[in-house]
Structure 1
Amino acid sequence: MLGGGGYFGIVLNPRQIAVLDAAIEFGAAVSMNFGVASGSLSVMAGIYFRLDLAQDSVTLVGYLRARGEVDVLGIVSASIELYMELGYKDGYAIGRASLTISIEIGFFETPVTIHCEKKFAGSGARSAAFAAGEEPPAIAPPSFVDLMSPYDDPVTGARIDPVFDYCTAFAEVD
């Protein structure tokens, strides 16, 4: 019912440690069989780390995967999987999610997957680019400060303050 696993890898060259790679996964799984129908559920979480000194790259990702499936008489089955990850790679925070739904009837199977990704830079990534004398990319992801700063709505021209709007969304109205 409870389980997990992991690994550790290292790549060496004559001068240095080139790559350190490690992951750990843990979670729970349960399955049931009622004769005519059977099903299973699993929830796994994990952490992945990679330090690539040869490419001067760092990746750190935490993820959650939830999966469920049901099968009726081996004729009809359905499954759903939700995968979410939040990670750090080379100065950017990256969030990804995917939802996959699959239905199988006899020999016909149709999976549908929906993906979503959000990437933003912390103030440190932009500061590091300026300190190194580099310009950040022209289409750089916005920083957290950029996302939460007040701005003018291009449609109405009204001034929008995301922090104020969020805080007042939970205020009691008399």
Structure 2
Amino acid sequence: MNSTADPSTVLITGASSGIGAALAHRFARAGHRLVLVARRSDRLEALARALADEHGVSAIVLGADLAQAGAAAALAARLRRRRLTIDILVNNAGVLEHGAFVRLNAERQQQLIDLNVSGLTAMLAHFVPAMVERGRGRVLNVASIAAFQPVPSLATYAASKA
């Protein structure tokens, strides 16, 4: 990611830690405008402060639980009200449950599917059409190597990533 004179606006889901936070630093270092999304607004606020201190970039923080029905639509509406156009969508939000499938809570398995599959799909549905209409835009769907092999202790997670 090279620095650019005309920075894009990058929306990163699951930005509060791990890969999402690392990607936020990478995009900030390149001078992009950022929209940080995750359930934990407090962690996002801390990340936004760190990005401002380290890279001189301000970030918009929006708390959202993308596993909830309608969350992607509400997020897209919030951004439209702010007149923000998303140039790059990073679908990074995701969860996993580890253990024997028969011992895992069915409700928790459904929440995993709701976020890893339904939430990701809803984000694409709300942001990609505008990119196609503009004739530009990028999407990064963060997956897992677990998508390519059977993982008995990560059955639902591996299926959701495939």
If the length of structure 2 is used for normalisation, what is the TM-score?
0.26
Highest RCO, 1 vs 2 (Cα 8 Å, sep ≥ 6): 2
Q: Which is helix-richer, 1 or 2?
A: 2
Larger Cα-atom Rg: 1
TM-score by length of 1: 0.25
